[in-house]
Every structure is written in structure tokens, then in C-alpha cells.
Amino acid sequence: MTRLPVADRPAVREAARRLVADERRSVAFVAVLHIAAAVAGLAAPWLLGSIVDSVTAGGGADTVDRLALGIVVAVIAQGLLNRFANYAGHRLGERAIARLREEFVWRTLGLPVAVVERAGIGDLATRSSVDVTAVGTAVRDVLPIVVVSVTHLTLLFGAVFLMAPVLGLVCLVGLPSILVAARWYLRRAGPAYLAEAAATAELTDTVTATAEGARTVEALRLTEARIGHGTERIATVWAARRRTLALRSVIFPIAESSYALPVGVVLLVGGPLIAHGVVSIGDVAAAALYLQQAIDPMDRLLQFMELAQRGLASYARVLGVSQVPTEESGGSEVPEGTRIEVRGATFSYGGGRDVLHGIDLDVEPGERLAIVGPSGAGKSTLARLLAGIEQPRDGHVRVGGVAVTDIDPAERRRGIALITQEHHVFLGTLRDNLAFAAPDATDPQMVSALAAVGADWYDDLPDGLDTQLGGTARELTAADAQQLALARLILADPHTLILDEATAALDPTTARRTERALAAVLSGRTVIAVAHRLNTAHDADRVAVLEDGRIVEFGPHDALVAAGGPYAALWHSWHA
Ligand SMILES: Nc1ncnc2c1ncn2[C@@H]1O[C@H](COP(=O)(O)OP(=O)(O)OP(=O)(O)O)[C@@H](O)[C@H]1O
Ligand SMILES: [Mg+2]
């Protein structure tokens, strides 16, 4: 399995910068609101300090009342400003997340099929759920917290410095230990969180594979093995999480003890300073209150570091998907005609041993070619090459004189359809399920496509084309679903059809009926059918026999039977 790429630090930084830059005005607006709220928050301690000083100086109740009223006004203003700032911040965050999700969906849909198959569903599923959500949380919650906390801290420390510079210096006592701890943490947290995310993806993969293959697991008594496999993955996740937990268990205690330090030191040093007349009691009281207020933003900054690390690791994985070249960036050539020409095509999966060796093959427009051969001969692989899903390592596959992988992807998908036993019924109406093959198809066209493939179950549907399919709604049998897939094909109207055991999942009678129904529809198109039911080969114009990645026999059915070679042997044993 080849994992999807993960973006590196500079790429993540650049993308994050762009994300913020695109919302420059909103970010500035949110920041201004938060600064205003923080300034309003500064008034209360300062006013309280003034009350202390005025009482010490023997001031009257009048002054105290006026100052107290000021505190009330400041607190209300701070509350209101905070509310609007948070509201604007969340709107900004949600907008950014929505864009992120949309981009991710588009990139994912543009991924070449072969890349998705190699990466495994778990990796992509984890990225699109866990990782996108983690980035979303980071953008929506972390960004405002940073803005708020940094401005808040700057203002608080600035206020202490303005009031009494000596006390300001004393405040800085707690900072060095936090900075050292933060540096230590940040160095290690990135890789640790990436490892955690990768381990989670592996676990998802394993669990999904076991659930999907539940029958195979039972039939082959693989339960113990699969449990063992899952347990290993859980152990890996557990170890990865312990690692990040260990990092947190170092940073948090250090940071938290650092917060309390300045308050203690200010009070401790404040006494002698007051005695020597350097500062007033009010100054020390206000400074202590400011420092007390600073604990909250400092703590939130720390939490943010934690969330930001998670978010950055996830963002690297989300961005990694867009580093895969999409199909759309593949080619833009327009083929002339539909003649298929394969020359010396050699192919191996992921650099392994060759499974196709120098295949030569010509298919004329409108011709029917059957490909037969033993299991593992490379029939499906050849079908994937012809459809442009895989590219030959050596040699070429051309359609209309153009390498099939260089054809504009939209054009290719319109012209060449590969249909296998794997098909999917999407949640939605029958009409939705047919329409994405041909968005402009009319209802009568859809109904006649269903009739053409012998889907007589259509007549029993309560709401016709509006019947809900998939999930807890009406479930189609494998045979029905296969017919639906074939009907889609008819609507898509491609010039070349590649059928890879397309009717193999149907019971023999249904298969025969569907094939006969299809035959009428297939006329005029090039059809390449991989088949193990040799009546398909019998009806084809020519037959290619594939063995061990090589075409060992090629010609019309009758000629091959007369030749008495491998095909004749297959035919006789199948016929008996
Ligand atoms: N995704 C893959 N990764 C690695 N090897 C693969 C992959 N798919 C197929 N192979 C190998 O390539 C060879 C040809 O497989 P292919 O599926 O093309 O055979 P086939 O003729 O279609 O067989 P069957 O009749 O069982 O469908 C086999 O040895 C198979 O193990
Ligand atoms: Mg196959």
C-alpha cells in the first residue's frame, strides 16, 4: 500500500498564510474587536488600584462610588465586546472550514482511481473526517484564541510597565521557563502528532478491511489472525498516543507553575518597594491583579499550542492530498477515431514483477473482442490499461492514435467505460443513481435503459424513478445493482465498453438474459469483454487467450476451436 503524501512544513506554512491572507479584512476586524474588549478589561484593575490609593489617601465615599461605577461600565463593555468578537471569530472560522472542506472534496474527486486504490480507503477516510475536523477546530477556535491571548498579554504586561516599570521587570520572571519548555515541546510535537494520525489511519484500514471481508474471515477461520492484526494496530495507536500524552505531561506542569510565579514575586518584591516609596500599594495591587488576569490568556495560549500542533499535523495530511497530480492535469489530447492499438505493453503493480509482458493487440471500431484465460493471467490488468486507469511501464496503449492516459480525462470517461463486478448504489433516488452517468437523460430514456438490461424489478418499485435506494431505504440485490450499473452505462453512451466479468455476479439465468439484452444495446460500439462464460467468447468477433501476462492465442472462435490449441481445450471442457 502506498500512502498518500503528507505536505512538508513550508507548504503547510504557506497554505496557512494564504488561508489567513484571503480573510485579511475579517481577521483584522476580529482582532480590533478583541483588542477593544481587552482594553475595556484593563480598566477594572486600574480603577480598583485607584480606589485602594484614594482610600489610603483618605478620599471620600463619593470618589469610591464614581470609581466603582466606572468598573461596572468597563465590565459591561468588555462583556459586550467579547460577545461580538467571538461571534465574528466563529463566522470567520466556519467560512474558512467550509472552503477547506470544499477544496478537499474537489481534490479527492480528482484523484486518479489507481492512486486511491493503492492508498487504501482508511487513509483517505481518516483524512476526510478526523483530519479535516481537526484543521477546522484549529481554524475556528485556535486562530481567535491566539489573536485574543497575544493582544491581551501584550496589553496586560504593557499596562504594568506603564504603571511601574520596576514591577514590569519583576513580571518577566515567569517567562524564560515557559519559552524553554515551549521550544522543547514544539520540536517534538509535530512528528509525534503526525505519527498519531498515521497510526489512526492504519487502524481504520484494518478495521474496515476486516468488516468488509467478514465472510471471508469467517470462512477461512481468520478471526484470530484478524483480531491479532487489529490488536497490533491498536497497540501502535496506543503507543503513539502515549508519546503525545508524555509530551503534554511535561509541558503543562512546567507552564502552569510558571504562571503563578510572577504574581508571587510581585507581591514578595512589592512589600520592600512600597516601604522604600518606589511604588504605591495601589500599583502593587493593580499589578498583581493584571498578572492574575494574565494566567488565563497564557493558559489558553498553551492549549492553543496543543491544538495547533494537532491542527498543523492534520493540515499537512489534508494538503498532502492536493499534492497528488489530479487526472485533470493528466492530458488534453483529443483522439481521432476510436481504433485501439496496444504495442509491447508491459506492466507491473508498484514496481513488482511484470504481470503483463509485451502485449500487442488491435481492436477495430465496432469490433467485439473477448479476453479469456485462467485466473491471475492479467485479464483485469489489461482491461485497466485499456481504460487508462493504469499506464504501461513499457510500450503503449493508444485510442484514436493518442496514448489513452493523455486523453483529456472528461473525454476519456465519456468515450471509454470500464465496468467490473464492483459497482455502487448511491444513497438517493433511482433517478439520481442513473443521472450522474448522463445528467441530461430524460425519464423515458432512463426507463428504456433499465428495460434494455432486463431490469424488470423496476416495475415493482413503489415510486418509479423517485424510489429511494441504498442504506436503510430499498436495498437492491447484487444482481439488481449490477443491472443498474449496466443501465448507467447505456445512458453514458460510450464508444468503447470494457466489461470485466460484468455479469459474473448474476446467477446463470439472469446473466444469460442480461447479456442477451445487452447485446442489442452494444451493437455499433467497440466491446472488449473479459469473460469466463465462453458463450460470450463464442459470440465475439475474435478471442484473445491470455496466459501468464501473454496473449497465447488470438482469432475468431471457430478458427481457434479448429486449431485445437489452449482455447479449444477450454471450450471443450466448458461445453462439457
Ligand atoms: N492491485 C494489485 N497489486 C499487485 N498485484 C496485483 C494487483 N492486482 C492484480 N495483481 C496481480 O497481477 C496478476 C494479474 O492479475 P489480474 O487481476 O489482472 O488477473 P485476472 O486474469 O483478471 O484474474 P481473475 O480471472 O482471477 O480475475 C496476478 O498475479 C495478481 O496477483
Ligand atoms: Mg480479473
Measured distance CA(164)–CA(186) in Å, rounded: 34
Contact at 8 Å (CB) between 128 and 136? no
Burial class (CB within 10 angstroms; exposed 0-12, middle 13-18, buried 19+) of 32? middle
Nearest to 285 by CA among 53, 455, 516: 53
Positions in the chain short of pLDDT 70: 1, 174, 326-331, 471-473, 520
* Cell matching residue 129: 473526517
Measured distance CA(530)–CA(537) in Å, rounded: 9
Question: Which protein residue has the closest C-alpha to ligand 1 atom 10?
Answer: 349
* Closest ligand, as measured to the CA of 377: 1
Any bridge partners for residue 544, and if so which? Answer: 371, 554
* Cell matching residue 247: 509530551
Question: Which protein residue has the closest C-alpha to ligand 1 atom 28?
Answer: 376
Measured distance CA(401)–CA(388) in Å, rounded: 14
* Closest ligand, as measured to the CA of 545: 1
- Mutation test of ligand 1: which of 2, 116, 379, 536 has the most ligand atoms closer than 8 Å to its C-beta? 379
pTM: 0.68
Contact at 8 Å (CB) between 392 and 472? no
Nearest to 361 by CA among 373, 344, 378: 344
Give the CA distances from residue 51 to residues 59, 60, 271, 479, in Å, rounded to whole numbers and listed in that order: 9, 10, 19, 84
Q: Which atom of ligand 1 is nearest to the CA of 546?
A: 21
Q: Which atom of ligand 1 is nearest to the CA of 549?
A: 14
Amino acid found at 247: L
Alpha carbon of 549 to ligand 1 centroid (Å): 10
Residue 304, C-beta contacts closer than 8 angstroms, at least 6 positions apart: 142, 145, 146, 149
Alpha carbon of 38 to ligand 1 centroid (Å): 65
Measured distance CA(531)–CA(372) in Å, rounded: 6
Measured distance CA(365)–CA(361) in Å, rounded: 13
Question: Which protein residue has the closest C-alpha to ligand 1 atom 14?
Answer: 378
Measured distance CA(35)–CA(85) in Å, rounded: 9
DSSP 555-576: E-HHHHHHHTSHHHHHHHHHH-
Residue range 422-433, pLDDT digits in tens: 778 888 889 998
- Mutation test of ligand 1: which of 2, 118, 359, 380 has the most ligand atoms closer than 8 Å to its C-beta? 380
Measured distance CA(232)–CA(244) in Å, rounded: 19
Contact at 8 Å (CB) between 264 and 293? no
Measured distance CA(155)–CA(148) in Å, rounded: 11
C-alpha dihedral sign at 367, 372, 377, 381: positive
Q: Which atom of ligand 1 is nearest to the CA of 374?
A: 25
Contact at 8 Å (CB) between 501 and 420? yes
Side by side, which strands form the sheet with 354-363? 354-363, 340-348, 394-399, 402-403
Measured distance CA(219)–CA(203) in Å, rounded: 23
Measured distance CA(501)–CA(422) in Å, rounded: 10
Question: Which protein residue has the closest C-alpha to ligand 1 atom 22?
Answer: 380
Please list every protein residue whose CB sits less than 6 Å from any atom of ligand 1. Answer: 349, 355, 373, 375-381
Measured distance CA(261)–CA(295) in Å, rounded: 10
Alpha carbon of 209 to ligand 1 centroid (Å): 19
Alpha carbon of 420 to ligand 2 centroid (Å): 9
Measured distance CA(440)–CA(431) in Å, rounded: 11
Question: Which protein residue has the closest C-alpha to ligand 1 atom 2?
Answer: 349
